[in-house]
Structure 1
Amino acid sequence: MLGSVAQRVPDAADPAALLTFLDGASAALARTGAVLVVHPAWRADAAVKLVRRARMLLATDRIARMPLDLPPLALSLVADQLAYTAPHAPPGVLASIAPHLADRLFAGAWLASVAKLERGQAKLGQHMRSYLPGSGFMVTSAAETTVHRITGAKPVQDIARRPLDPVLMLAANAQGDPDWLERQLRPALQAVQVTSVAAPPLSAGFWGSGKYTEFVAFSGHPHDLHHVMRSVHCVRCPWCGEPTALPACPFCGEKQPRADAPPQPEAQPGPAPRPGTAHAPAAPPRQTPATSP
């Protein structure tokens, strides 16, 4: 929610979540005039219904949603980054920078087993080794999910891109291997600090295991968020006026004109009307947005 620390809705599918969300959304609308709901793209149905019902019951289009394809801990971090940035940027800009913040993270988990991992391409041999005692896997989730079997020769997979220095890490342990994270992954990422946090409620389901150590690494540089905001070019939505860089306005749903679209030629004036036949032009009908969030 904008203008405050990001508030959590425990389970959007729970009927009681609607009442909790309505109370929080009403307060946020009165305080800041807008609400941005960040939710996992891989569990979107409940969030879509929640936002639609809230918009209808509160009679407002100032509640938007932003789906992100991130693991639970990384998703929680981006929500907090947006809440931190909210006092300094319009809500449409916040929605626009959310995917860029997600791209700058390095997120994943240590798993004892990948036998029930639904995301990523775990090989048959990795599935079989999941049943052996002492097995461990490093699973990263970025543009695509990758699975690496941890061995003594290669305890950490190759890291092609790491966050800007100084690198900070959040870690949530649930019967996993925090020693691996501290002794192997932290040096590989050159992280200066690891902070332990509570495990998100959706983590076990996302990773397909009750034994995991989830992590997310991000830049602690004071200008990193500022750089992201400056690199995203927003224009005002022609329908509601909200600044956005997304294909469709997150609030009114209006599709935005492409930035690279060629300019339309100006209309050429027609022949002058004959005397006594000119009429005032009729006002064009008001159009409605083609889509809704």
Structure 2
Amino acid sequence: MTSADMALPAQDERTLPAVVLRDVATRPLEQVLTELQTIVEQHGHVIVVCSPAAPTAVQRRLHTLRSLLESDRIALFRPDLPPLGLAVLVRQLRQLASCDLGPGVLASAGRLLTHYIHAGALLGSVARLDRVPVNLKQHAKSWMPGSQFAVLAHPQPQLVRLGPEASLDGPEFGTWMLLAKGQLQSDWVSATLAPSWKVQGLRESPLPAASPGWWGTGRLIEFCSYLPDLSVLYQLVTSVRRSTCHWCGIDVIGDRCVFCSATPPAPDGPPRPRPENRAVVG
């Protein structure tokens, strides 16, 4: 990743550390290029996870770096998740990186695991929220003193004004919940939402620096439900059919290779040997 505060503590003893590309857009190009090249040489393949909400300069620099290295061993992954959900996804990939998964399968797993993440926030105002649809009535009520809104950004956008009957659609499978408190004071997430979602555990984390900008306010409590167990994550990923990329020769899951963007070859296409090393840049 491009921010150190998005690298969550390890979930278990097998979770690999994240590599942080700091100040991607502000450091000299040659310096960042050398650093990324070194990471590729050390690990064989690199998965760079970047938020779509990252500054345009950061996204352009990442594409420039990949182009200059002329490498199909760098995957740029930009899942449409809020900051805390993105940090959780990166940690799940770090967990899976310790398993016997090839780099193409590991990189493809990011898109699969995104579907099992429920990410949202409790907000003190939706006046500047542009990531989730806000109607005129809700926008007007956000100016009323004491108003709070429960918002689900992923997997399906949902926004409700907080009240006795307020609820959000949660996962239909067992999860843990991670929450990060901003400047808003409330126990609704831990005392009401978490029990309604039947979460199996609740943990707290510092609020990511990008969260106030993403949600349009610093008066928030961000939350994310996720699958914590490595065995469950591994079973999900390995249950999906694999194919071999005809261009770079690695195994992938899904409709295209996340490293070279080639579509899966025909069943009789000749496979090439695949390297096994991989790293998650978080």
Q: Is TM (by shorter chain) over 0.5?
A: yes
Equivalence for 1:202: 210
User: Who wins on radius of gyration, i.e. which is larger?
Assistant: 1
Structure 1: which amino acid aligns with 2:36? A
CA distance in 2, matches of 1:15, 1:182: 39
What is aligned with 1:49? 60
Q: Note closer, same or farther for the CA distance 1:45–1:161 as it changes in structure 2 (3 Å cut).
A: same
1:212 is matched with which residue? 220
Could you say if the C-alpha distance between residues 210 and 43 of structure 1 is closer, same or farther in structure 2, counting changes exceeding 3 Å?
A: same
1:98 maps to 2:110: yes
**Helix, strand or coil at the partner of 2:50:** strand
Residues 215 and 258 of structure 1: is their aligned pair in 2 closer, same or farther, counting only changes over 3 Å? farther
Structure 1: unaligned runs, 5 residues or longer: 265-293
Q: Which runs of 4+ in 1 moved over 6 A?
A: none
**Structure 1 position 232 matched with structure 2 position 240:** yes
Structure with higher RCO (Cα < 8 A, 6+ apart): 2
* Kept after mapping to 1: 8 A contact 2:244/2:251: yes
May I ask how many residue pairs the two structures share in their alignment?
Answer: 255
Partner of 2:98: 87
Q: What is the rounded CA distance, in whole Å, between the counterparts of 2:34 and 2:94 in structure 1? A: 18
SS at match of 1:96: helix
* CA distance in 1: counterparts of 2:180 and 2:22, whole angstroms: 17
Is the Cα contact below 8 Å between 2:17 and 2:94 reproduced in 1? yes
Does structure 2 conserve the Cα–Cα contact (< 8 Å) formed by 1:97 and 1:232?
no
Does the alignment pair 1:30 with 2:38?
no
Q: 1:97 to 1:258 in 2, by over 3 A?
A: farther
Deviation at 1:101, TM superposition (A): 0.8
The answer as to whether partners of 1:117 and 1:207 remain within 8 angstroms in 2 is: yes
1:252 aligned counterpart, secondary structure: coil
TM-score, length of structure 2 as denominator length: 0.80
In the TM superposition, what is the alpha-carbon distance from 1:6 to its structure 2 partner? 2.2
Q: Residues 26 and 41 of structure 1: is their aligned pair in 2 closer, same or farther, counting only changes over 3 Å?
A: same
**Structure 2 alignment gaps of length 5 or more:** 2-14, 270-282
Q: Is the 8 A contact 2:125 2:143 kept in 1?
A: yes
Tell me if structure 1 keeps the 8 A contact 2:122–2:151.
Answer: yes
* Partner in structure 2 of residue 132 of structure 1: 144
1:188 pairs with one of 177, 193, 196: 196
Kindly report the root-mean-square deviation, in angstroms, between the aligned alpha carbons of the 2 structures.
Answer: 2.7
Structure 1 Cα separation of the partners of residues 266 and 141 of structure 2: 49
1:197, distance to aligned residue in structure 2 (A) = 1.1
Aligned partner of 1:64 in structure 2 is 75
Offset at 1:160?
Answer: 5.0
Structure 1's 203 and 104: CA in aligned 2 closer, same or farther, altered over 3 A?
A: same
SS of the equivalent of 1:80 reads helix
Which AA in structure 2 matches 1:231?
Answer: S
For normalisation by structure 1, the TM-score amounts to: 0.77
SS at match of 2:221: strand
